C-alpha cells in the first residue's frame, strides 16, 4: 500500500516536474546569453583605449545596470544591515558601490589582453551559475563562476566565484571581522569605507 501511494504521488507530480525542466533549462540558457553579452562588454572596456577615468565611468555604467549592487551590499553587511539606521544604510550602499567600482577599476591597466571563454551554465536553486575561463597574458587561466539572479526575467550578477572563492562571502567575512574589532559599529565601517574611496580618488 505504501508503495502504491508512492507511485500515485509520483504520477501526480510528474506533470509539474516535466513543466519545471524546460523552465530551468530556459533559465540556464538565458543566463549564458546574459553572460556572453556582459563578458564582451567587460572585455571591451578592459582591453579598449581610453583614460583611466573614462574606463572607470564605463565600468560603473556596466555595474549599475548588470550587477545587483544593493543586494550584494546588504549580503556583505550581514546581520548588521538590520541594526543600521536608514541613513547609515543609505550611506553604506552609496559607498559600497564606489568601493566596488574602485576595486575593479584600480587594476584595469594590469589586465590588458584579457580573453574569456564560457563553459557550462546550470541552475542552482533559483539562481543560475555560468562557468567561464578568464585568461590574462603571462598568467595561468582562472576559473570564474558567475552567479546570476532572476535569469529569465531580470538577470543580475550577485556573486563572482574565482577559483572556488566567493567574492561576496569573502567581503562579508572581512566586514564582519572589521566590525568585531570596532565595537560592531556600522558608523566606523562607513568611515573606513569613506576613507578608502577618498584615498583612491
The answer to whether residues 96 and 69 touch, using CB atoms and an 8 Å cutoff, is yes
- Write out the three cell numbers for 5: 501511494
Q: What is the CATH number of the domain that holds 91?
A: 3.10.450.710
Domain count for the chain: 1
SS3 label, residue 151: coil
What pLDDT does 5 receive?
Answer: 46
For residue range 139-190, list pLDDT tens digits in order.
899 899 999 999 999 999 999 998 899 999 999 999 999 999 999 999 999 9
Tell me the C-alpha distance between 179 and 67, whole Å.
25
The answer to whether residues 158 and 60 touch, using CB atoms and an 8 Å cutoff, is no
What pLDDT does 11 receive?
Answer: 47
What stretches of the chain show up as alpha helix (H) in DSSP? Answer: 2-47, 52-66, 69-77, 80-83, 86-105, 167-180, 186-200
What pLDDT does 9 receive?
Answer: 46
What pLDDT does 156 receive?
Answer: 95
Tell me the C-alpha distance between 26 and 39, whole Å.
20
Listed as ranges, residues in the chain with pLDDT below 70 are: 1-24, 106-111, 201
- Write out the three cell numbers for 71: 543586494
DSSP category for residue 201: -
What pLDDT does 198 receive?
Answer: 85
Domain that holds residue 75: 2-200
Report yes or no on whether pTM surpasses 0.85.
Answer: no
What pLDDT does 100 receive?
Answer: 87
Question: 50: Cβ–Cβ under 8 A, 6 or more apart, which residues?
Answer: 58
Cβ neighbour number for residue 135 with a 10 Å cutoff = 13
The answer to whether residues 131 and 119 touch, using CB atoms and an 8 Å cutoff, is yes
What pLDDT does 46 receive?
Answer: 85
> Which residue, among 58, 85, 66, has the nearest Cα to 130 in the 3D structure?
66
Q: What are phi and psi of 74, to 5 degrees?
A: -65, -40
Amino acid at each position: 500500500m505504501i508503495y502504491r501511494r508512492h507511485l500515485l504521488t509520483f504520477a501526480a507530480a510528474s506533470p509539474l516536474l516535466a513543466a519545471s525542466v524546460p523552465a530551468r533549462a530556459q533559465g540556464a540558457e538565458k543566463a549564458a546569453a546574459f553572460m556572453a553579452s556582459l563578458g564582451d562588454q567587460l572585455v571591451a572596456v578592459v582591453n579598449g583605449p581610453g583614460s583611466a577615468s573614462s574606463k572607470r565611468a564605463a565600468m560603473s555604467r556596466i555595474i549599475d545596470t548588470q550587477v545587483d549592487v544593493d543586494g550584494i551590499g546588504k549580503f556583505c553587511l550581514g546581520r548588521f544591515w538590520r541594526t543600521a539606521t536608514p541613513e547609515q544604510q543609505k550611506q553604506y550602499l552609496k559607498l559600497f558601490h564606489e568601493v566596488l567600482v574602485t576595486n575593479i577599476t584600480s587594476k584595469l591597466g594590469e589586465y590588458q589582453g584579457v580573453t574569456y571563454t564560457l563553459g557550462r551554465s546550470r541552475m542552482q536553486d533559483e539562481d543560475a551559475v555560468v562557468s567561464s575561463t578568464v585568461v590574462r597574458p603571462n598568467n595561468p587561466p582562472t576559473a570564474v563562476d558567475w552567479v546570476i539572479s532572476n535569469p529569465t526575467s531580470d538577470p543580475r550578477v550577485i556573486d563572482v566565484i574565482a577559483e572556488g572563492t566567493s567574492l561576496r562571502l569573502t567581503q562579508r567575512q572581512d566586514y564582519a571581522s572589521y566590525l568585531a574589532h570596532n565595537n560592531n559599529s556600522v558608523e566606523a565601517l562607513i568611515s573606513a569605507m569613506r576613507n578608502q574611496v577618498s584615498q583612491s580618488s
